[in-house]
Structure 1
Amino acid sequence: MSKDNQTYFSEFLIVGFPGLLPKYYPLVSSVFFLVYLATFVGNSLILGLVVSEKSLHKPMYFIICNLALSDLLFSTLTLPKIIARYWFNAGAIPFTACFMQMYLVHYLGSVNSFILMVMAIDRYAVIRNPLRYQSIMSSTTVFNLCAFSWLITLIFPAVITIRAFPLSYCKSNAIIHCYCDHIGITQLACTDITSYSLLAFIFAMLVLLLPLSFIIFSYIQIVISVLKIASPQGRYKTFSTCSVQLIIIALYYVPRSFVYMANRFQITINTDFRILMIVMYSLLPPVINPLIYFLRTKEIKTSLLKKLRVKRVTNFHENTSCPVCN
């Protein structure tokens, strides 16, 4: 093997925020741990409620369930390593494992994008064709759309991962990021990565802009339909059915689009700020989404309160039962 084609190390080192002083490591690791705990509990509750409550066996909640599963998997894939890096100074990750993480990071991010598109299509159908909604967005249709989201996105991250894996890595093994991603890894290559970066950018724009174009079209049509409603109360009630999805979509797409375009057009951004932006669009939505569902979605909130009341009554009866029965 020639010198130019050799990889000189067997593991990468997750750096996280390069400008962070060591005295803040315990605080940052604690914040990441709380974020992961909130993500795990919130999305697990969503999954448990949708599965166990018959009243939630509807297309919209099946979509929410898919989004919660994707968020839970993404956080479980990325957060434990960065927590270990700051808590135990254990940021090393094996070479092959880093590429596996890279593939899954881009795969789950793509799944999220397509699931949000399905969510927008669902809201478009319920607003534009309320009388035909159940026939248009049947359980079978939604299942197929969600399955398509999970399957079609298997291809794109596989291509960029397979192309990046055999590159020569000898500059450094320090990944200036909170997890392994394509940009963080390929920047460490000794060879020219222009073609690799271009392919990755095309892939990113495809999985970002294709769903986003459907989302924008759907919500433009929704706004037009809402404005045609004569009653102000009717307009408010109709638009409120989409407000949850709009918040979730904004959290996902706005900072992501900014970072992608800045990387492509070489806009200078402070490294720590860039990583913070990536953390915001990657890890904040999985935390915030369940909270939005519980606060703004009446049926989910009702189901959760019902579960809590049943639990409270059960505990009350157990605590007031006869303590001495012999």
Structure 2
Amino acid sequence: MSAVNVSSVRPAGFVLIGFPGLASVQQWLSIPFTIMFIFALAANSIIVFVVRHEQALHTPMYFFLSVLAVVDIGLCSTILPNMLQIFRHNPSFITFESCFIQMFFIYFFTSLESSILVVMAYDRYVAICNPLRYASILSTAFLGKIFCAFIIRGLILTALIPIFASMLPYCSSNVISHCYCDHMAVAKLACTDITNNSRYGISVAFSILGVDVLFITFTYVMILRVVLKLGSSAARLKAFNTCGCHLFIIMYFYVTSLFNFLVYRMGEKVPPHIHVLFAVLYLLVPPALNPIIYAVKTKEIRDSFLKHVLRKKVNPATNIPV
């Protein structure tokens, strides 16, 4: 499909070209992304299934994990099918309305991902630092209120991004040098000043991601202070191993997402295909890694997987399937 200029301030749609300058190899790129997509869908679906069907996993910790899995499914499903279509039929056309709907869901699911990471960090803090009050602190009423607050926060702040962007006049090129309808990649096509859109986008990023990462960092510092006081070196090593894995995926998510937001404002020297690659990976890698970090390393999840998916019994004494 050839890229065309449009004379209307509201074109019929946009042309997504994928990775700028890499059109000749995009078919090959579809292979690892397809594998990552299938794995993320399968692994997160299994987590939701296992947590739902295992009564012993009906606790706040595993509830958070299943909600994270649902968000991860939504996040990668928002961009991967369209991306794979670009790789097969480069470039790909997306309608005006679909572009901004996709934009909303990308930022809404990203905000929910961040929110759940915050709650999971707080869950670990209470479990380690105040275990006797765990059930009373993380009550059903508290969880309901905090999730409603996070959903409202995400809806209000992120919904305005595509709304404001859709009101811009698009009277020049309709070609988006990206794999999906990223806010600034689309807004830069407008034939008007987009300073306010840029400022609002970065303010939302720091209001959600910036605040959340500060809270998570403080929470894990408090957790590590308690861990360092443990008498057993084996217990300390286990806690460090668990916290280290969690912090790796958390920092990856926040560093790459904030990098994506900042490159549009201050990273003119970053090659476009490198920027787009980071913009894609910050949305796709966490959904693929979260099941490994949070589920595979958890004995209760592994046992429930053997029981409900593979239909094998696990000997509680030996932890060996029989």
TM-score, length-scaled by structure 2: 0.89
- Give me the whole-angstrom Cα distance separating, in 2, the residues matched to 1:53 and 1:220: 32
Is the contact made by 1:81 and 1:179 (CA closer than 8 Å) also made in structure 2? yes
- For 2:233, the equivalent position in structure 1 comes to 232
Aligned residue in 1 for 2:165? 164
Give the conservation status (yes or no) of the 8 Å contact 1:82–1:178. yes
User: Which residue is 2:148 aligned to?
Assistant: 147
Work out the CA distance in 2 between the residues paired with 1:25 and 1:311.
42
Cα shift readout 1:139-196 (whole Å, capped 9, x = no counterpart):
4423432333223210011122221111111231111111112111101000011111
Distance 2:259 2:219 in 1: 22
Structure 1 or 2, whichever has the larger Rg, is 1
**1:17–1:177 CA contact under 8 A, matched in 2:** yes
Tell me: CA distance 1:144–1:244, structure 2 relative to 1, closer, same or farther (3 Å). Answer: farther
Distance 1:309 1:108 in 2: 31
Unaligned runs of 5+ in 1: 313-326
CA distance in 2, matches of 1:217, 1:182: 30
**Alpha-carbon offset, residue 267 of structure 1:** 4.8
1:32-71 superposed Cα distances (whole Å, 9 cap, x missing partner): 2222211111111111111111111110111111111111
Paired residues in the alignment total: 308
For 1:70-89, what aligned pairs fall within 5 Å after superposition?
A: 70-89=71-90
Query: SS in structure 2 opposite 1:167?
Result: coil
TM superposition score normalised by structure 1: 0.88
State the shift of 1:309 in Å: 4.3
Alpha-carbon distance in 2 for matches of 1:298, 1:311: 15
Runs of 5+ in structure 2 lacking a partner? 1-6, 314-322
Q: Is 2:116 aligned against 1:126?
A: no
Superposed, 1:1-326 pairs within 5 Å as 6-7=8-9, 9-22=11-24, 24-89=25-90, 91-310=92-311
Which segment drifts farther, 264-273 or 184-193? 264-273
* CA RMSD, 1 decimal: 2.1
Relative to structure 1, the CA distance from residue 241 to residue 141 in structure 2 (aligned partners, 3 Å threshold; closer, same or farther) is farther
Q: CA deviation at 1:308?
A: 4.4
In structure 1, distance between residues paired with 2:310 and 2:96? 49
d(CA) in 2 for partners of 1:164, 1:304: 44
Aligned partner of residue 144 in structure 1, secondary structure:
helix
Could you tell me which amino acid in structure 1 is paired with residue 287 of structure 2? P
Q: By how many angstroms is 1:244 displaced? A: 4.2
SS at match of 1:153: helix
Amino acid at match of 2:283: S
- Alpha-carbon shift at residue 241 of structure 1 (Å): 4.4
- Equivalents in 2 of 1:125, 1:305: separation in Å? 29
Q: Percent identity?
A: 38
Q: Check the 8 A contact 1:119/1:245 in 2, yes or no.
A: no
Cα 1:20/1:90, change in 2 over 3 Å? closer
Which residue identity is paired with 2:63? F
| 8 Å contact from structure 1 (residues 111, 153) kept in 2 | yes
| Rounded Cα–Cα distance in structure 2 between residues aligned with 1:32 and 1:239 | 31
In 1, are the aligned partners of 2:205 and 2:258 still within 8 Å (CA)?
no
How many Å apart are 1:300 and its aligned residue? 0.6
Partner Cα distance (2:227, 2:293) in 1: 22
| Distance in 2 (alpha carbons) for counterparts of 1:257 and 1:27 | 28
Structure 2 CA distance for aligned equivalents of residues 267 and 66 of structure 1: 37
